[in-house]
Amino acid sequence: MTDDETAPAADTQPISLDLLVILRHPPHGSSWLREGVDVALVAAAFGQAVGLLFQGDGVFALVEGQGAGPLGQKGTHAQLAMLEMYDIERLWVSASALRARGLTLADLALPALALEADEIDHLVHAQPRTLLF
Amino acid sequence: MTDDETAPAADTQPISLDLLVILRHPPHGSSWLREGVDVALVAAAFGQAVGLLFQGDGVFALVEGQGAGPLGQKGTHAQLAMLEMYDIERLWVSASALRARGLTLADLALPALALEADEIDHLVHAQPRTLLF
Amino acid sequence: MMLHLLNRSPQFDGIYWDLSEAFGAEDHLLLIEDACYAALPAAAASLAAFGGRVSVLSEDAASRGLLDRLSDGVTVVDMAGFVALTATFPRSLSWF
Amino acid sequence: MMLHLLNRSPQFDGIYWDLSEAFGAEDHLLLIEDACYAALPAAAASLAAFGGRVSVLSEDAASRGLLDRLSDGVTVVDMAGFVALTATFPRSLSWF
Amino acid sequence: MIDRPYDVLSYALLVHAAPYSEQGALSALRFAQAAVAQGHRVSSVFFYRDGVHNASMLMAPPQDEVHLAEGWRSLAQEHGTELLVCVAAGLRRGLMSAEESARHGREAHNVEPPFVLTGLGQLVDAMLGNDRVITFAP
Amino acid sequence: MIDRPYDVLSYALLVHAAPYSEQGALSALRFAQAAVAQGHRVSSVFFYRDGVHNASMLMAPPQDEVHLAEGWRSLAQEHGTELLVCVAAGLRRGLMSAEESARHGREAHNVEPPFVLTGLGQLVDAMLGNDRVITFAP
C-alpha cells in the first residue's frame, strides 16, 4: 500500500506530546491554517511540546513554492519556516490525503512523516490534548 | 430515470423571471438560507418576479416538520410560509439532490417541481439574474 | 477513549473521511447541528466507518424535522446527555 | 452564455456537482481562491463535467505554488483576464 | 486588455466574505481595482452576511497586512463607488452608524461614511441598475 | 443526569463561530448553560477567529432573536465564567476595548467587561487548567 515516499515512520506510535494541532484547511483561501499554526507557535513558546498533523486540504500548506498573495497578504509558508525556531519538529501528514492530491513527500517544503489511517488513530489517541483547525 | 414524484414539469423550460435565487445551504446550521430567502422576499416586495431553486443540502429547507431552534432561534419554515404572500410561487428542487438524501416531493412542506440536471441548466440560463446562497 | 463532535452535513464527505482516520475502537461520535443529516437512512454510508457508536443531538434533529426519520443505529441524546458524554469521555475533538 | 466562478477546493465535491447541473454548453468556469486546487492533474475528475472550458486565476495559483503543476487543459488568466471574462459573458454566477 | 474590445460596463459587487477570515473580501477588492483600471465603473459594493465586517472603522490589522476598510474607502474616494452595508445583517453582527447607535441607545458606533447602512432594496436596485453583478463569498 | 454519576468538572470552551451566521455560537452558549445546570464549572470561554464578534457590545439583534452577547454576559455574571477574546484575532476584525481604542487612536470601542481582550497564551492556560476543552466552530 505504501511506497518509499509515504512509508510509515516506525517511531510514531508511542509519541505523546503536550498538544497535537490538526490542520485540515488549505492555505490562502481562509485564515484557518494561519490562526491554527499561531496557536501551535504560542503553545510552543509557553514550553509545551507541540506536533502538527496535516489532513485533507491541510497538506497543501506544505507544498513547496508558495508565496504571498496578490495584495501582499502573507501565506503560511513564512509562518511554517518559524516552526523549527519554536522547536515544533514533529510534522505528520495523512498519506491518503497526499495520494488523493497527487502529492508525495518530495513535493513538500518541510520534512514530514506520512501516516496511514491506523497510525493517525494511534497518534491522535496518544495525545493528551488535540485541537483542530 | 424519474418516477412519479420527481417527474419533470413540462412547463419549466421557457420561464423567465426577473430573479432566480439558488439555495444550496441547509437550514438552521447557518443563516445562508435565511438571508438568501430574505433577498428573494425583498426583491418580490420591489415588484420583481422571483423563483427559488433548491440544490444540494438546500432541499432540506423544505422538509416538513421543522421547528424553531432550542434557543428560540427562528428556522426557515416560518419564512418559507411567507413566500406565497409575496407571490413567490415558483419553487424548483434538484431531483438528484432529493434522491441522494432519500427524499421525495411528498416529504416537502411546500409544492415544488423536481428538475433533472438538463432542466436545471435550462432554467438557470433562461434567467436574466441569478444569485446563489 | 475520545468523543468526536461533528457539525457538517454528509455533503462534506472529506471531513467524514478525515474523522474516520482518527476514530479509535473505543471512540464515540456525536452529530450536532447540520451533521444531524448524517443520521438519515439515506446517509448511512457516511457513518459506516463509525461502527454504530454514533449519537445525534435531539434538539438539533428536532428543529430540522428529523426526529421521525432517523436511522435505527443512531442513539438520540439531549443537551444534558451531550454534557454527560463530554464528562464520560476524557477528551473530545471537534470536526468542522 | 454564463461565467461560473468557483472558490472551493475539490474536497467540496457537492458544490462541483451542483455547478455541473447548472453548467450550459456555452458556459465557462473560472477557478479562483481554493478552487485552484481543482486545476491539479490529480483532481481532473472534478473538472470532467466542464468540457475543458475552465480557467484558473494566475495570482491565486501562484500564491499556492501551483503554477508549474497545473493540468494542461486549464487556461491561466490574470486579474485583468478575470475582469475581461466578466465583460465577455453577460452573466456570472458564484459558487461557494 | 488595453484596447478594450468591449464596452465600458458598470459593475455591482456583492461581498459575503468576512475580512481576514476568508480570501473573498480581498478578491473582491482586487477585482474592483482591476475593473476600474480597465476603465469600467464599479458603481457599488454591497456588503451582506459576514461581509458587513469589512465596514468596521475599528478594524486594526497589523501594519504589514492589507487594511481592507481603507482599501474600500480609497475605492470610494477615487472612483465614486458606493459602499452599501446591509443594515439588518449589520445590526445583528455589531455594525452601527452614528444614527443607528443613537436609535439603539448605544454610546459608540463603528460605521462611518463612505460606508452607508442601507436595506436589501438597495441590493435589488444594484442588480437592476448595473451591467454586471459579481458575488464574492467565503 | 440528576444524580451525577461522575465528578464535577471544569470546562473551557473555544468558540470560532460568528454570531448569527453559524449555529456554533448558539450551540456553545446552550452547552455552557447545560453544563452549569448539571453542576459543572465553565471557567472560561475563549473567542477566536470570527468567534470574536460574539463580544461586540454594538450587537443589536431583533427583539425576538437570541441576544448572544447578553447570553455570554449572563453566564459570566451568574457563574463567574471568564470571557476571553483573542486580541490579535479581534483587532484585525474590528473588536476593541477602551484601552486598545486609545492605543490605536480611535474614538470608539466595542468590547467591555466581562469580555476581556487577551493573548493566545490564555487559550493555552485554559487548555492546561481545565478538565475539558470543547470547541464550537462554524
DSSP state of E106: -
Question: With 50 as the cut, is the pLDDT of residue E102 above it?
Answer: yes
D8 chain-E contacts, CB cut-off 8 A = none
Q: The CATH number of the domain where C33 resides is what?
A: 3.40.1260.10
- Nearest 5°: the CA angle E20, E63, E61 is 30
Look at residue C61 in the predicted model and tell me its pLDDT: 98
- For the domain covering F10-136, report its CATH number: 3.40.1260.10
Look at residue B81 in the predicted model and tell me its pLDDT: 86
Look at residue A15 in the predicted model and tell me its pLDDT: 86
Do the beta carbons of residue E17 and residue E55 sit within 8 Å?
no
Name the band, by pLDDT with cuts 50, 70 and 90, for residue A4.
very low
What pLDDT, in 10s, does the model give residues A27-84? 999 999 999 999 999 999 999 999 999 999 999 999 999 998 877 777 788 888 899 9
Question: With 70 as the cut, is the pLDDT of residue B14 above it?
Answer: no
Which tops the pLDDT comparison, E6 or B113? Answer: B113
What's the mean pLDDT in B14-36?
Answer: 94
Sign of CA dihedral B27, B96, C8, D96: negative
* Interface present between E and F (3 or more CB pairs within 8 Å): yes
* Residue C13 contacts D, CB cutoff 8 Å: yes
Facing A28 at nearest CB: one of E20, E23, E65:
E23
Nearest CA in chain B to E133: B129
Question: With 90 as the cut, is the pLDDT of residue A5 above it?
Answer: no
What pLDDT, in 10s, does the model give residues B57-77? 999 999 999 998 877 777 788
- Retrieve residue F6's grid coordinates: 461522575
Question: With 50 as the cut, is the pLDDT of residue B12 above it?
Answer: no
* Interface present between A and B (3 or more CB pairs within 8 Å): no
Look at residue A61 in the predicted model and tell me its pLDDT: 97
| Longest distance between any two alpha carbons in chain D, whole Å | 32
Nearest CA in chain F to E64: F92
What pLDDT, in 10s, does the model give residues B99-117? 999 999 999 999 999 999 9
Name the band, by pLDDT with cuts 50, 70 and 90, for residue A14.
low
Do the beta carbons of residue A56 and residue A49 sit within 8 Å?
no
* Residue F134 contacts C, CB cutoff 8 Å: yes
Task: Please report, in tens digits, the pLDDT of each residue of chain F (138 residues total).
Answer: 445 555 899 999 999 999 999 999 999 999 999 999 999 999 999 999 999 999 999 999 999 999 999 999 999 999 999 999 999 999 999 999 999 999 999 999 999 999 999 999 999 999 999 999 999 999
Percent helix, strand and coil across chain E, each rounded to 5? Answer: 40, 20, 40
Q: Which residues contact C45 (CB under 8 A, 6 or more apart)?
A: none
Look at residue A12 in the predicted model and tell me its pLDDT: 46
Residues of F near B (CB-CB distance < 8 A)? Answer: 20-23, 26, 29-30, 64-66, 71, 138
Question: With 70 as the cut, is the pLDDT of residue E124 above it?
Answer: yes
Which tops the pLDDT comparison, A17 or B15? Answer: A17
Pairing relation of β-strands D91-95 and D75-77? unpaired
Residues of E with a known catalytic role: 86
What pLDDT, in 10s, does the model give residues A84-123? 999 999 999 999 999 999 999 999 999 999 999 999 999 9
d(CA B126, CA F63): 40
Look at residue F6 in the predicted model and tell me its pLDDT: 59
Look at residue D69 in the predicted model and tell me its pLDDT: 97
Which is catalytic among the residues F13, F86, F87, F123? Answer: F86
Calculate the average pLDDT of chain A: 90
What pLDDT, in 10s, does the model give residues B74-91? 778 888 889 999 999 999
Which residues form the domain of D13?
Answer: 2-95
Look at residue B3 in the predicted model and tell me its pLDDT: 45
d(CA F35, CA C84): 9
- For the domain covering B19-62+73-132, report its CATH number: 3.40.1260.10
Look at residue A71 in the predicted model and tell me its pLDDT: 79
Look at residue A69 in the predicted model and tell me its pLDDT: 84
Instruction: Name residues 36-95 of chain D within 8 A of B (Cβ).
Output: 91, 93-95
Residues of chain D with pLDDT under 70: none
Q: Which residues contact E26 (CB under 8 A, 6 or more apart)?
A: A69, A70, A71, A73, E66, E68
Q: In terms of pTM, does the model score above 0.90?
A: yes
Q: Where are the domains of chain F?
A: 10-136
Nearest CA in chain C to A95: C21
Edge-first strand order for the sheet with C91-95 is: C75-77, C54-57, C28-31, C2-6, C91-95
